[in-house]
Structure 1
Amino acid sequence: MKGTPSIESSSIKMIPKDYIMQALLKPVDYHSSLLVYYVYLHRKFALASPFSTKSTSYPDDILDHFPVKKVLEFIRENLNFIFPEIVALVSSQSPSYFHVNNKLLELTQKESSVKLEYLIEHLETFDDLAVALKEGLDESKTSQYINVLKLLQPELLFKNFTSFMDLLVQNYSNDYRQVWIKLYLNSPTTTCTATLKYFGIDGDYISNPLLIFDAFQNHRQLIPVFLQVLNHSSSEFRHKIRTGRTMFSNEKDSAVLTYDSLVIQNLFSIIHISPALVCKYVHQVFVDRPLCIRLVNFQGYDLDIIPTVVDLVPSMHVCIDYCVEITTNVNGKFGMTLATYLCRKYPLEKT
């Protein structure tokens, strides 16, 4: 009909993806930073549009190629007036980059004196480095090679991801975990997906977090990595649900709550592997989404782990208010046991 704008004419013009990716091959500057800002802004308006489809804006996978950390640092220093907005955009569309309170993401701040020239001089390929690290060299030599590994660009590590994962699995240590975290911070989705593929998981782990449990069931030493993948999956699932248009608000809340309770119940089944790390993860979920505390405890779990959960999950203190209801209407034995340990941990004041 004449005078009625089409979807195309009312859409914001898209800068070609190839042009953006070419610009990002160079060091971060005003041009590349503004292009990244533009993409996030374009996606924001597209998501808000009732005519939005996957073809009307940039796909999710383009975000994985952005040097987000470097761009944010550049904008903070040189384009400060848009810094709050770009942080909000990245936080809403790439939530995995924002876990500043998560100790699993702490990286060493020590500067390494080892230069990449060392690798060029002594090792011809990444496989040479991997072999050297696997050979069990003396401690000082191994330390040098690990420092070289830490200095490698993410692109090279991704290119040799299987060899790197062999090192991580066979010689797990904090040093190797830091390299994995470096990759994660560079590209969360790519790192998590590649990690799960290494363990033979190729399904939709964001919608089905039990696949993550399957991947790591025989690699207990990797639980810090496992929890980070789980955290990423949870963040992406919430983002997917909350930006979707097929559910009402209460249905979205219910979907997220069900997802969280499923994850926590399965974490409780492996709590013996690392009680402190598992409980820290659970506590953060409870703090972020308090309704989950009620649901999980009304569902109940193994009586044997109640002492550990009460002791290591500080947010469990709110369950004191639920104990009578749980005991009376849901599970008397569970409710009484929970109340006993809660009262020992948090004695009621005499009045």
Structure 2
Amino acid sequence: MLLLMAIHFHSSQLTWICDHMCNTLGMRINIRQSTMGKMKQIFTQDVFPEQVVASRSVNIPVTPNLNANMSGFLPIHCVLQLLKSQAFTKHRVNIKTWIYNQICASVSPLHPLLPSLIEAYVTSILVVPNKATQELAVNQPITEEEILKVFGDKVLDQTGNENFTAHLLLLYYLLLYEENSMSLASQPNRLQLVGLIRYKTEFLADIPIRYIVQQAEKEHPYSSLFSTLLRLLATHFPHLSLVEDWMEDTTSESQFVLQHKAKNITTEMIESGLSMMVERPERAGIVLKRLYAERPIKIWPFAPTILKFLPNTLDSNVSRYIQELYKKVWLRLNTVLPRSLWALTIKALQHNNGASALKEENLIQDPLQVLQCDARVYRCPTVLSIVIRVLQSSLAASRSHLSRLVNQKIFATGQLTQTNNREEYKNVLTAAQDSAAVQLLLEACLETEDDRKSFSNMMTLREVRGVVCSFLHQMFIADPPLAKLVHFQGYPRELLPVTCLGIPSMHICLDFIAELLSQPDFQKQIFAIDLISNISQQYPLPKSLSLARLAINTMYTFLSVLTQEDRRELYMPTLPALVRICQVFPTLSEDCITFLNQLGRMCVSVTSVRSDIFLLPAAAAQRSEEMEGPKLRMRRVPKPDIFDERTDIAVANKLFAQQVELTVKEILQNCLENNASA
């Protein structure tokens, strides 16, 4: 108590001393602060100088089983006040060991001063070295070895009543250290960051971060720390804080647990059950139910055995019920050590020789490896949803990893001059990864010959497209520039009806279609016109009408500047798009018909002229042969017909003109139907 009073005398907190004395005596007395000057002088100069206070605080024993139920003034009050007043830093006293021991000695319910203690300690660690002395902060970060002593394998062996206080506090320390160190690195004029420690990505991956945070959410004694942990987790480990993961119900129903939790789970039981998914699905279902009924931390040791049978779920003869049960078990495992589970999952789905060498770091460095799996995955919606979950998490982890690399470079060199360039390179790389993933998933949605063989295959393809479109919708909402990048890159036009119908966020394309239409590339212009027509069907908005009118005017403008071959190349694929536009916006039918009539007349005129030209050389050649006689015809050397190519062009122009005529008739028919219905 005297030590605590001395600390407050040093910090001139006289009001707190008065309140403290009243609480200790159990009575309310009036103490004038003006009369406490002599007492302050005795405490601060004779009895407890600040250096003595700081050095003695290190030797105070930690409080065993520190929790919120303890009252009175504890050693944590003294140490916290000294940390806030920077007494340890001023007198070069290392308090790290005491902090670590007190964290390990804490139990539930959480003492309200422990989070503040960790915050003050992290602040005392992350101090820019003095330019004159070049001395680092006296308090050093808690080492990885010390943290692993608390974590290690203990978390995986705990029962439901185990205490998570030390784990939560150390996790809070790690996340807060990451937050403050990155904030320090981003500040200008911080040129002396050399020597500050950063924790390795591999070390952080071995900690069941998400599982511990979920425990804080479920257990009331830790609820005060949950919101802060979740904020830090979402900032620095976005791959562990996906919305889908937090929306999953990780708690089993009590009746379900009592029914399927009778026997202990063994490796032999899992192998015998999951190996019979096709022959004995009821046995596989019982095993999966038992796995689902257990706590995730308890079934994690069986993860390699469970993932070994993931390829078996791709068999077309495996029931959907078994596949869904397997997915539920996978989602529960995903709450423990996600990165390890992702690597096991992709290894199981890859058949090449490099799959055995796949490591967790490989998925972070190259997330596209997730999609290099068995082709059957793209026709199995349940397993595809698992792979997409891994892909989504890997992309987020890759972005976080690249950000850490940029910051680590700053910490290693202490230079900020090239930070902007590094950020640009990082953004370009992440955009390339995201767009490549989108393109690969869109390619998987293309209809194949096998899909057309049966109605069930078409229904499976439809469900696969739904899973992919749902994921792309999330990506486009999270990063709208990604949608622009993907559509400027382009993809098969037969998928436009799928994406416009299945991705609710496709309306954001209305912001850049005009720019896409102005590109000097026929394929991009065709894609833009087709995109306008499909989006207009889903979103018949005034902006869609303006863009549709712009597309028609652009096509009309090109009539006078393009050759017949270029006109055929540009307009032939866009004729169905004009029909769709007129169906959605009947007011544009007149403009479309005017444009098509002009296009048709030009096609007919060019075809007629070229047909006459083609006939003249053939007739002349026939007359020449009649005049030359047999002798000359025998001397003639056979040559290829130079007019074959022109004849093909004439036929193509004629077919093009016919298609234009059919398009006009279809638009007129739609107009008549609209008038009749009106």
Range into which the TM-score falls when normalised by the shorter chain: 0.7 to 0.9
Flag the structure with larger Rg. Answer: 2
Change (3 A) 1:287 1:54: farther
Contact 2:368 2:391 in 1 (8 A): no
1:224 to 377, 381, 385: 385
Given the alignment of the two structures, is residue 9 of structure 1 paired with residue 132 of structure 2, yes or no? no
**CA deviation after TM superposition for structure 1 residue 319, in Å:** 1.3
Task: Report the alpha carbon displacement of residue 90 of structure 1 after superposing the two structures with TM.
Answer: 1.6
Contact persistence 2:150–2:167 (CA under 8 A): yes
Residue 213 of structure 1 pairs with residue 371 of structure 2: yes
Tell me if structure 2 keeps the 8 A contact 1:310–1:342. yes
- Which residue in 2 is equivalent to 1:267? 441
1:252 counterpart residue number: 426
User: Which structure is higher in RCO with an 8 Å CA cutoff and minimum separation 6?
Assistant: 1
Match of 1:95 among 232, 238, 247: 238
Task: Report the CA distance shift for 1:159/1:82 in structure 2 as closer, same or farther (over 3 A).
Answer: closer
SS at match of 1:185: coil
Could you tell me which residue of structure 2 aligns to residue 317 of structure 1?
A: 507
Taking the TM superposition and a 5 Å limit, the aligned residue runs for 1:150-165 are 150-152=292-294, 154=296, 157-165=299-307
TM-score (norm 1): 0.85
Measure how far apart 1:53 and its partner are.
Answer: 7.2
Unaligned runs of 5+ residues in structure 1 are: none
- Distance in 1 (alpha carbons) for counterparts of 2:250 and 2:480: 29
Q: 1:178, CA displacement in angstroms?
A: 0.9
Does the CA contact (< 8 Å) of 2:367 and 2:398 recur in 1? Answer: no
- Per-residue deviation, 1:156: 6.1
Residue identity in the other structure for 1:78: P
Does the CA contact (< 8 Å) of 2:327 and 2:386 recur in 1? Answer: yes
* Kept in 2: contact 1:28–1:70 (CA 8 A): no
Q: Higher mean Cα deviation, 321-330 or 275-284?
A: 321-330
Match of 1:37 in 2: 172
Deviations 1:252-293 (A, max 9, x none): 333322221111111111124510010111110100001111
Match of 1:193 among 343, 347, 361: 343
Q: 8 Å contact 1:46–1:52 — kept in the other structure? A: no
Distance in 1, matches of 2:267 and 2:169, equals 34
Aligned length, in residue pairs: 347
Aligned-residue offset at 1:142: 4.2
Which whole-Å CA distance do the structure 2 matches of 1:104 and 1:29 have between them? 23
Amino acid at match of 2:527: F
Instruction: Please tell me the residue identity of whatever aligns with 2:264.
Output: L
Q: 1:126–1:160: 8 Å Cα contact kept in structure 2?
A: yes
- Give, in whole Å, the separation in 1 of the partners of 2:246 and 2:139: 45
Calculate the TM-score normalised by the size of structure 2: 0.46
Q: Quote the Cα distance in structure 2 between the aligned partners of 1:82 and 1:340.
A: 51
Residues 61-86 of structure 1, C-alpha deviations (whole Å, 9 max, x = no match): 33443253344443672244433321
Q: 1:21 aligns with which of 142, 151, 155?
A: 151
CA shift for structure 1 position 38? 1.9
Cα distance in structure 2, aligned partners of 1:277 and 1:146: 24
Q: Measured at CA, do residues 225 and 34 of structure 1 come closer, stay the same or move farther in structure 2, by a change above 3 Å?
A: same
With 131-140 and 193-202 compared, the bigger mean Cα shift is at 131-140
For residue 221 of structure 2, the aligned residue among 43, 63, 78 is: 78
State the Cα RMSD in Å: 3.2
- 1:287 is aligned to 2:428: no
Alignment partner of 2:365: what SS?
coil
- Measure, in 2, the Cα distance between the counterparts of 1:47 and 1:156: 35
1:7 and 1:302, CA in 2 relative to 1: closer, same or farther beyond 3 A? farther
Deviation, structure 1 residue 150: 1.7
Unaligned runs of 5+ in 2: 1-129, 186-192, 314-321, 410-418, 447-460, 547-678
Q: Is residue 65 from structure 1 mapped to residue 215 from structure 2 by the alignment?
A: no
Cα deviation 1:134-153 (Å, max 9, x = unaligned): 23576655433221122345
Aligned identity (percent) is 18
SS in 2 for 1:186: coil
1:265 is aligned with what amino acid?
A: Q
Q: Counterpart of 2:263?
A: 118
Question: Does the C-alpha gap of structure 1 residues 192 and 142 become closer, same or farther in structure 2, counting only changes over 3 Å?
Answer: closer
Residue 336, structure 1, aligned to residue 559, structure 2: no
The answer to whether residue 472 in structure 2 is matched with residue 298 in structure 1 is no
- TM-superposed CA distance for 1:17, in Å, is 2.5
Instruction: Report the CA distance between 1:104 and its aligned residue.
Output: 8.9
**1:242 maps to which residue?**
403
Helix, strand or coil for the counterpart of 1:173? helix
Match of 1:127 in 2: 268
